[in-house]
Amino acid sequence: IEGPTLAQIIEKTGKRLDAEHVAWITERILNVLMYMHERAIIHGDIKPQNVIIQPKSHTVVVVDFGLAMIRPKSNSASPGYTKKFAPPEQIQELPLLPASDFFSLGKTMLWALCGGDENDFNAHSVPASTPKPLCDFINSLIVRDILQRPQDTLQLHEEFMNVREQAFGRRRSGMKPIPGLD
């Protein structure tokens, strides 16, 4: 699949991603998760290295299904995880739910907004220029208690579209190029 990963974009540009870029990438990841979750598939490893961006077409491809689980049961445990992006239940070897992918998505959003800066990422510190509705959305995803996170992918997608409208004055972003990827 052509295109750099989100991690490679941050590494190449050496910058934090603009909040509006994070928003369109997030919306597209939510579309993928909606498709998967409707089919009872939990990705289990959403992270910047598993998100390929095709910047000219504003397309996102989620890859690496090595930790995915189909119809997890109450005794299912993930075969592994990436600690930096894994939800607490995955680290504790508990079953994964759609909300588990939401936690990892929130951490991925935070990582992109921080430009991969470990100190900001670990402190959950986003740039001051990040709109409050987007910060609140991220914070709703990265809570430790799985029952306190959003549970429904379709509902979360609709909520996110409202966040985009509040944050940027529109539900869709334009095809603004990502600086440094010409």
What residues are labeled active site? 45
CA angle 77, 104, 162 (to 5 degrees): 130
With 0-12 CB in 10 A as exposed, 13-18 as middle and 19+ as buried, what is 1? exposed
Q: Do residues 146 and 42 touch, judged by C-beta distance below 8 A?
A: no
Residue 90 φ then ψ, to 5° = -75, -40
DSSP string, 47-77: SGGGEEEETTTTEEEE---TT-EES--TT--
